[in-house]
Amino acid sequence: MYTLPKVLTVHEIADIAAGADVRVSAAARAGIEQHYELANKIAERTPVYGRSTGVGANRESAARADSEAHGMNLLRSHAVDAGPALGADVTRAVLAVRLNQLLHPGSGIDPVLIDGLERMLAGNSLPELRQYGGIGTADLPALAGVALALAGERPTSGESFTPIGPIRADSALPFMSSSAPTLGGAALAVSRLEQLIDASLAAFGLSAFASSANPAAFSPQAAVAVAMPTASANAERLAGLLGDASWESARIQDPFAFRAFLPAISVLSCATTRLREAVETLVSRSRENPGFDLEREVAVHHGAFFESWLAHELDATGIALAQTAPLMLARLRFMNDDSFSGQPRFLAPHGGGASGTMVVEYLAASAMGEVHAAAAPASTHSAVLSCGVEEDATFAPTALGQLLRALDAYGVMLSAEILVAVRALRLSGKAAGRLSPGVAELFDVAQRLPAAFEDRDLRGDVEIAQQLIPEFARVLRGAQRETVGQGLG
């Protein structure tokens, strides 16, 4: 159970998305009710965008005198989304983010909308939200659709939801004035990406072990030279997984696939940290346009809805992910290359032209193409809309969509590395040696992968390897810097 408002973390948002309960603090709700009354008094004395005026190019036009009609017409006209429906988990994340934001005073919204959001989450009565409509200047179509569901004009997935009735002009635009759908999706992406990074460290440890790579390149000492904020932590976690003892290195200096891993993964983890910080900041404050400053008794018209920070961090994370992909593909290639690994070519010990894991490289290369295609920055685009009044856009939702595509493809690449590394270690006989506790636990987890080496259909193996990703991440997080016996060899 999470009591809102709070500084929501991406992991808490992921918990709520998965079904965790939320409740609204009684004190916070009372504060919003007081804020609503004071905001209405301010709006009686001064024009307020969207309350007493139209929106966009209609900002100079006086609104209809009927506040209920104006509010509902704003919502109906803006609820134009399309494309595939978002999953229930993403929708719950969206509702949680919007609820948390609205509980931070500033919007001047009617607290009855807060009550409705709380009941939607409690009953899992979810509106249908669709992918397209937002351009990174508040996710107006999706949130207008949520508001229509709150009002009873659109259905929800649960039968027990009681609508709040028509929404007046004092709350229609404030409710829409948020990027909660992009922020909720970004929170889930960060949570997933952190798991992929941890699993990538674990899979790399197995690849390095299988290839007798020189561990100096990813040691805590090397991390000092790498110099990025997360490099030392990444090196320490690898050391905790692999143990204090080391294997005999096959080379003084390895190819970039091994030697450049620590810089590349550290760029990715730095980018992920920055994205997490942006999301956790933006989901935990009032950002509606206009906002109300009760101390000065004014409405503050601003451009905070222009999601340039979020779009930039989403783009940067996608680019960092793309930088790691060629190194991962190269490790597969080297483990499959008999001249490098000393193992049978394509890890196919039976010979006779057996292809072994050759085509696993092709699978990884195919997925890498998607990772690279999705890395093209979305935030450098622009759009001119609403009779030229709104003359730019950040395309943060597009940047999120590209990152999600890249994460799907990266997960395929990671499953390929897990599959090939485990097979290489089984062939080498190293897996039968005395292992560090972390590596031994990875091998226990990897026992779900078939041990047969003959040419066969590997689709199922790849699917199993994908299922192992959360377990690999768990082992990496729990690994301690201790070894069994003399170490890894």
486 in a structural domain: no
Please give the Cα distance from 278 to 280 (Å, whole number).
6
The reported pLDDT for the residue numbered 339 is: 95
Q: How confident is the model at residue 268 (pLDDT cuts 50, 70, 90)?
A: very high
Q: How confident is the model at residue 483 (pLDDT cuts 50, 70, 90)?
A: very low
Task: Name the DSSP class of 65.
Answer: S
* Average pLDDT for 71-79: 95
Q: How confident is the model at residue 432 (pLDDT cuts 50, 70, 90)?
A: confident
Backbone angles phi, psi at 357, to 5 degrees: -100, 20
User: Both 232 and 99 in a single domain?
Assistant: no
SS3 162: coil
The reported pLDDT for the residue numbered 489 is: 33
User: Rounded mean pLDDT of the chain?
Assistant: 93
Q: N- to C-terminal Cα distance for the chain?
A: 47
331 in a structural domain: yes
The reported pLDDT for the residue numbered 296 is: 87
The reported pLDDT for the residue numbered 246 is: 64
SS3 202: helix
C-alpha distances (whole Å) from 330 to each of 256, 257, 382, 417, 435 are 8, 6, 36, 10, 25
CA proximity to 34, closest of 103, 96, 100, 115: 103
CA proximity to 109, closest of 58, 54, 62, 177: 177
User: Both 169 and 260 in a single domain?
Assistant: no
- Both tokens of residue 110? 């009617």
For 423: left if phi > 0, alpha if psi spans -120 to 50, otherwise beta; the answer is alpha
Please give the Cα distance from 256 to 342 (Å, whole number).
19
Does position 400 have pLDDT exceeding 90, yes or no?
A: yes
- Both tokens of residue 249? 């290195």
The reported pLDDT for the residue numbered 43 is: 85
Domain boundary among 178, 212, 239: 178
> Which of the pair, 426 or 248, is modelled with greater confidence?
426
392 in a structural domain: yes
The reported pLDDT for the residue numbered 245 is: 52
- Both tokens of residue 441? 């636990």
User: Both 161 and 235 in a single domain?
Assistant: no
User: Both 386 and 447 in a single domain?
Assistant: yes
* Average pLDDT for 358-383: 96
Does position 123 have pLDDT exceeding 90, yes or no?
A: yes
Is the CB of residue 154 less than 8 Å from the CB of residue 148?
Answer: yes
User: Both 199 and 160 in a single domain?
Assistant: no
Please give the Cα distance from 339 to 199 (Å, whole number).
28
Q: How confident is the model at residue 487 (pLDDT cuts 50, 70, 90)?
A: very low
User: Both 172 and 190 in a single domain?
Assistant: no
Taking residue 474's Cβ as centre, other Cβ atoms within 10 Å add up to: 16
User: Both 171 and 222 in a single domain?
Assistant: no
* Average pLDDT for 287-314: 91
416 in a structural domain: yes
CATH assignment at residue 151:
1.10.275.10
C-alpha distances (whole Å) from 392 to each of 186, 238, 329 are 22, 44, 38
User: Both 171 and 254 in a single domain?
Assistant: no
* Average pLDDT for 385-405: 92
What secondary structure, in 3-state letters, does 415-481 show? HHHHHHHHHHHHHHCHHHCCCCHHHHHHHHHHHHCCCCCCCCCCHHHHHHHHHHHHHHHHHHHHCCC
Does position 73 have pLDDT exceeding 50, yes or no?
A: yes
What lies within 8 Å, CB to CB, of 112 at 6+ separation is 164
Does position 61 have pLDDT exceeding 60, yes or no?
A: yes
> Taking the mean position of all CA atoms in its chain, how far away is CA 278?
12
Q: How confident is the model at residue 484 (pLDDT cuts 50, 70, 90)?
A: very low
The reported pLDDT for the residue numbered 236 is: 95
Provide the β-strand partners of residue 306. Answer: 137
The 10s digit of each residue's pLDDT in 193-248 is: 999 999 999 999 999 999 999 999 999 999 999 999 999 999 999 999 998 656 88
User: Both 201 and 337 in a single domain?
Assistant: yes
484 in a structural domain: no
Please give the Cα distance from 265 to 260 (Å, whole number).
9
CA proximity to 253, closest of 214, 303, 218: 214
Please give the Cα distance from 338 to 159 (Å, whole number).
62
The reported pLDDT for the residue numbered 244 is: 61
What lies within 8 Å, CB to CB, of 114 at 6+ separation is 24, 29, 32, 99, 102, 103
Containing structural domain, residue 226: 186-478
483 in a structural domain: no
The reported pLDDT for the residue numbered 231 is: 97
Domain boundary among 116, 148, 178: 178
399 in a structural domain: yes
What lies within 8 Å, CB to CB, of 221 at 6+ separation is none
Is the CB of residue 174 less than 8 Å from the CB of residue 453?
Answer: no
Domain boundary among 178, 198, 224: 178
Does position 60 have pLDDT exceeding 70, yes or no?
A: no
User: Both 331 and 231 in a single domain?
Assistant: yes
User: Both 162 and 70 in a single domain?
Assistant: yes
SS3 356: coil
* Average pLDDT for 164-188: 96
Does position 44 have pLDDT exceeding 90, yes or no?
A: no
Q: How confident is the model at residue 433 (pLDDT cuts 50, 70, 90)?
A: confident
Please give the Cα distance from 174 to 165 (Å, whole number).
17
Peptide bond connecting 290 to the previous residue in cis, omega within 30 degrees of 0 = yes
C-alpha distances (whole Å) from 10 to each of 22, 187, 188 are 15, 5, 7
User: Both 423 and 446 in a single domain?
Assistant: yes
CA proximity to 422, closest of 345, 332, 486, 340: 332
CATH assignment at residue 353:
1.20.200.10
The reported pLDDT for the residue numbered 462 is: 98
* Average pLDDT for 126-143: 96
Please give the Cα distance from 101 to 352 (Å, whole number).
64
For 347: left if phi > 0, alpha if psi spans -120 to 50, otherwise beta; the answer is left
Taking residue 168's Cβ as centre, other Cβ atoms within 10 Å add up to: 18
How many folded domains does the chain comprise?
2
% of the chain residues with pLDDT over 70? 96
SS3 93: helix
Strands 22-24 and 2-4: parallel
381 in a structural domain: yes
